[in-house]
A and B are shown apart, each in its own frame.
Chain A
């Protein structure tokens, strides 16, 4: 019945009129996907403008340098979370995973005399193993990730207490190489050289794309696809390096975070692995029918999240010069999830870019940093951060609905 009707209605309405509402829907759909960064960047500009107005010290190179170091841990953990969020899952154990991995690394380096590289490698492996086991449980027992990772988090908090010495409940990293990474700044020349390498790599890739497009007789603009990205990268990079250099230079950890983001931006947008993650997040059944090994990728995503959690845990331990029961507290978890969501990673799966970890962490970090600078009370700080996260989730839900109207 409805099938005959559909044929009939097609005759009745030969060309659907584009109403203003449809145009608005199209704009919102685009905002949910291709231009998802816009609202975050806008929020960031507003936040920076406000704090710069409230306290000019906010934009001082020294404060920006501190701010950027403060967001490294959140950014790395948020980057890890992005992998599970994109496939429509969640991992609530990242803070505990990070703390346990850091405790093991610190214990090996401090108490057992292993060299730092070995200790860090083992810590990363522990993080990978924790993530992998959780991924296996979630995939093969079809247990909800929410509960599995929450349970794991509790177990890991218990294990953390076991790992820490009973007497002091603390492994100190004072004087250890791990305790010093946060204080290393790159000399200006090294920063410039790194920027040049990054721009060169970008040029290789954009030229490759450009040549391939020409070869396949597709439209391609040399100016927009090759020159413009390289020039804007050069300008932004130079400004960033200049600002950092007027304090102590680019912090090593910040350069490391940017390098990680760049690498995984490539992995998620330029490789099959990345496309498959997004496909699973949008329509796991379609992905499975396309011959994609959904189970393997699910476990891989959780494993990656575990590795980044471990990395974040170690860096956090290095910055506060030790591992204690507080290392597993939920602030890092909440801030990392908030960063990913504020940055535009959808909690409904399938949407969000690697750069969300940076922009989201910047929003969160700028608010806490700026609030301290203007002497706001802890209450106000919590209220504002909570409000921003809630707004971000509302926007996510709203845009996701708009993006899925085709179903």
Chain B
């Protein structure tokens, strides 16, 4: 990761209000290729709102979003996808009545040219689906049956596979390991590491601090819509992180924590 280059994604002073609730207040965040940044915070801290802003679902009231140093206005998920940003949402974006292949390719189906009736290239999608699922070691007995027969873990896996189908530069994961069994959780963490190895930037929301410590290069702590700390791998303890999340440590301590560098603590 070369920090002399502009970050692949930068959020600058973004604020969002929902009526009386300040969901985000002047939040900034940068991420470089090949980096995993974890977003942590209590329920309602604004994590999902921040992710929705980056993925074009929610326009910020103030502030801007830059991709490779250029300010972009992300008015729709389509704009975000075009800028190389893909998102896996907390509330699963799976259609129960569509099968695994249709869910994987929803919105970017392969299809034949007009002189072949614009017919969907089902076989092409099925083959690519099998490849992607096998790559990430996701096991689904029959990819041709509606998703209502999949387990929660399988649905999450499909959602993640869906996000990397288009080879994005930035992947946003909103609580990807919530509600997963041990084996599938480990699989998702491995998958995140694989994404990093491929040079993608990954932003992951998680409530599981064990997962965060294992996988994140940097941790950004949100509380009540404010960014209260940003710490690098190995420069914090789990207790300090809990303190930052819950507000049990003072602002001065928090600032000191954010300035700390390197691998001194474990």
Contacts and interface: CB of A to CB of B under 8 A. Distances in A.
Contacts of B181: 6-7, 10
Given A218-B123, A271-B120, A291-B76, A11 B93 contact: no
Contact of A271 (B111, B124, B145, B185): B111
Interface in A276-297: 278-279, 281-283, 285-292
A286 B163 CA distance: 13
Given A34-B145, A275-B102, A350-B96, A289 B108 contact: no
A362 to B, nearest CB: 24
Given A3-B179, A7-B185, A283-B95, A290 B123 contact: no
B127 A287 contact: no
Contacts of B147: 406
Interface in A298-333: none
Nearest to B118: A271
Contacts of A66: none
Contact of A29 (B78, B93, B148, B178): B148
Classify the interface of chain A: helix, strand, loop or mixed. Answer: helix
Classify the interface of chain B: helix, strand, loop or mixed. Answer: loop
A404 B123 contact: no
Contacts of A26: 149
A208 B111 CA distance: 13
Given A33-B146, A33-B148, A289-B89, A270 B96 contact: no
Contacts of B185: 7
A218 B179 CA distance: 33
B94 A286 contact: yes
Contacts of A350: 95-97
Interface string B114-156: 0011111111101100100000000000000111111010010
Nearest to A350: B97
Contacts of B117: 266, 270-271
A208 B179 contact: no
Contacts of B55: 289
A282 B147 CA distance: 11
A215 interface: yes
Nearest to A211: B123
Nearest to A280: B95
A276 to B, nearest CB: 8
B109 A272 contact: yes
Contacts of B106: 275, 279, 286-287, 290, 292
A253 to B, nearest CB: 26
B96 A216 contact: no
